Chains A and B, each alone.
Chain A
Amino acid sequence: TKHIKTLNNLKE
């Protein structure tokens, strides 16, 4: 998004 980029399932 304009402010946040998520780069990448630990719970699963």
Chain B
Amino acid sequence: MIHKYKLGGYNICLDVHSGAVHVLDDVAYDILEYYEEKMPAEMPQNILDELSAKYDREELLETWNALLELQEHGLLFSPDDYEQFADLMTKAPIKSMCINISHDCNLRCEYCFAAKGDFGQGRCLMPLETAKKAIDFIIANSGTRRNLEVDFFGGEPLMNFDVVKKTVEYARSIEKKFNKNFRFTITTNGLLLDDEKIDYINREMNNAVLSLDGRKEVNDRLRVTPNGKGCYDTIVPKYQKLVAGRGEKDYYIRGTFTKYNLDFTNDVLHYRDLGFDQLSIEPVVSDPKLDYSIKDEDLPRVFEEYERLAQTMINSRRKGDYYNFFHFMIDLNQGPCAIKRLRGCGCGNEYVAVTPQGDIYPCHQFVGMEQFKMGNLNDSTFNNDMKLDFAKANVYSKENCRDCWAKFYCSGGCNANNFQYEGDIRKSHKTSCALEKKRLECAIMIKAALSEDSDDMECDGEDCIAPC
């Protein structure tokens, strides 16, 4: 299977099952228009005749042979050998956990999937004993995995900061005994940040996700306090201080774009103006009936904006201004292994979320959906049948995914979105799929554009992937 498209002045071809990415001239692109599966050894006369009206015959035959060479080396129309790994390899120990340390929040963001902080379960904070049980649970269920990840989430985690600190201290006190290495993340709206918390986060948290929707008027329209006041002026200086002390550790400024700011490139550029360089802004996923929701009729405008953002990033990098946009990150040489791509995000299988009451759910987006409660830390219950069901929800068990060109990049999409909007974790949420495909096309196009700056179209020998 191949996927080819034109974007930004480039003809791009992705060979789905090898992962090879080719930039084609018009001759090669037009030849491939005739093929969805393997090319024959000889160029068919009818294709040669038809394309001869547009191109020189010698050039056509030369290009045909170049394409054929790629095919012979498994870099074009390569076969799908991966289904054999799907069920065999997807079952995995739990190695990652979202601890909902707070089901309370000091903001009332309109689009919040957590029902403005309490996940519809009443406002409360996680007791330390429950947090310790969560740490014990992940250690006990992580098998031979060494790297374990915990994200402090909510609600607003800083509303229960003392328990955050004591949980980290507890995990650190026992990790060596069990040969584990905890990596902590915290996701915050920033309101309660102060010098002490900033120092702590920069010392103890491997990643910090800082919520901000972009320009002041955009952020303050939907990210409001209980009395309706915006938060931009309060949080931005705190984020700037935190990031200034972050050193080499990861962080992301993370926002949500809605129908109200489909010009979200301007919000990304605003992040940059504020001095941030690790950036993420995601489309709101919400009931289409809501005013701020992105609907199918908005997709062409969103696609146009992703293209504008991609071109803006290319222009910036060519001027020496580097910033990273999370959803355009793609490593074409050393990305995740095929097994990881089959497992996907790990929701319900490698990854679970825990509530202040000790309830266990497949991920932070399933919290509050009773039919997806997997167990409870306090009574030591855990539904392994549900875990296995999630483990088997891979790209080969999802009807719309198995023949999709993007399957090894989105890995089957978000099970929670699938369930909420399509009624089944195995039915792809069409809007999310369309957005993901567009982001991938843009990400690969950026690679194509920047490759022009780093080579002169000559083979560089040692790393060459096909014979010269």
A positions within 8 Å CB-CB of B: 1-11
> Across the interface, do A3 and B333 meet the contact criterion of CB distance under 8 Å?
no
Q: Given that A1-B66, A4-B66, A5-B451 are contacting pairs, would A10 and B28 also be in contact in the complex, using a CB cutoff of 8 Å?
A: no
Q: How large is the interface on B (under 10, 10 to 19, 20 to 34, 35 or more residues)?
A: 20 to 34
Given contacts A4-B24, A4-B66, contact A10 B19 (CB under 8 A): yes
Q: Are B333 and A4 in contact (CB under 8 A)?
A: no
Interface residues of B in 338-364 (CB under 8 A from A): 338, 341
Report how far A7 CA is from B463 CA in the complex, Å: 11
Residue of B nearest to A5 (CB): B23
On whether the beta carbons of B457 and A6 are closer than 8 Å, the reply is no
Chain B residues with CB under 8 Å of A9's CB are 19, 333-334
B63 with A3: CB separation less than 8 A = yes
Q: Are B332 and A4 in contact (CB under 8 A)?
A: no
Decide: A7 near B23, CB < 8 A? Known: A1-B66, A2-B62: yes
Partner of B25, one of A3, A7, A10: A3
In this assembly, does B67 line the interface, its C-beta being within 8 Å of a C-beta of chain A?
Answer: yes
Bound-state Cα–Cα, A11 to B283, Å: 32
Q: Are A7 and B62 in contact (CB under 8 A)?
A: no
Is the CB–CB distance between A7 and B22 below 8 Å?
yes
Q: How far apart sit A8 and B66, CA to CA, in the bound complex (Å)?
A: 17
Query: Are B451's CB and A3's CB within 8 A?
Result: no
| B465 is an interface residue with CB less than 8 A from chain A | yes
Q: Which residue of B lies closest to A7 (CB)?
A: B21
Cβ–Cβ contact A6 & B22, under 8 A: yes
Pick the residue among A3, A5, A7, A11 that contacts B27 (CB under 8 A): A3
Given A11-B18, A11-B81 in contact, is the A6-B75 Cβ separation under 8 Å? yes
Give a binary string over B432-468; 1 marks a CB under 8 Å from any A CB, 0 the rest.
Answer: 0000000000000001100100000100000001100
Contact A7 B24 (CB under 8 A): no
Q: Which of A1, A5, A7 contacts B332 (CB 8 A)?
A: A7
Whether the pair A3, B21 counts as a contact (CB closer than 8 A) is no
What residues on A are CB-neighbors of B394 within 8 Å? none
Known contacts A1-B66, A2-B25, A2-B62; is-contact A7 B75 (Cβ 8 Å): no
User: 26 A-B residue contacts at CB 8 Å?
Assistant: A3-B24, A3-B27, A3-B28, A3-B66, A4-B23, A4-B24, A4-B63, A4-B66, A4-B67, A4-B70, A5-B23, A5-B451, A6-B75, A6-B465, A6-B466, A7-B21, A7-B447, A7-B451, A8-B19, A8-B333, A9-B334, A10-B18, A10-B338, A10-B408, A11-B18, A11-B81
Rounded to whole angstroms, the CA-CA distance of A12 and B466 in the bound complex is 16
Known: A6-B23, A6-B466. 18 other contacts (CB 8 A): A1-B66, A4-B23, A4-B24, A4-B25, A4-B67, A4-B70, A5-B23, A5-B457, A6-B75, A7-B21, A7-B448, A7-B451, A8-B19, A8-B333, A8-B465, A10-B19, A11-B18, A11-B74
Q: Which residues of B contact A7 (CB under 8 A)?
A: 21-23, 332, 447-448, 451
Expressed in whole angstroms, the minimum distance between the Cβ of B112 and any Cβ of chain A is 37
A8 CB to closest chain B CB (Å) equals: 4
B-chain residues with CB within 8 Å of residue A6 when the two chains form the complex? 20-23, 70, 75, 465-466
B223 within 8 Å of A by Cβ?
no
Complex Cα distance A8/B15, Å?
11
Given known A10-B18, A11-B74, A11-B338, contact A4–B81 (CB-CB < 8 A): no
On whether the beta carbons of A5 and B22 are closer than 8 Å, the reply is yes
Set of chain B residues within 8 Å of A2, measured between Cβ atoms: 25, 62, 66
B78 at the interface (CB under 8 A from A): yes
Closest 6 CB pairs of A and B: A8-B332, A10-B19, A7-B21, A5-B23, A3-B63, A3-B28
Interface check B116, CB cutoff 8 A: no
Answer whether residue B426 sits at the interface, using C-beta atoms and an 8 A cutoff: no
Closest A residue by C-beta to B337: A10
Contacts of A10 in B (CB 8 A): 17-19, 338, 341, 408
B373–chain A nearest beta-carbon distance, Å:
36
Residues of B within 8 A of A8 (CB): 19-21, 332-333, 465
Q: Which has the most chain A C-beta neighbours within 10 Å: B19, B67, B78?
A: B19
From 1 to 24 in chain B, residues with beta carbon under 8 angstroms from any chain A beta carbon are 17-24
Q: Min CB distance, A12 to chain B, in Å? A: 9
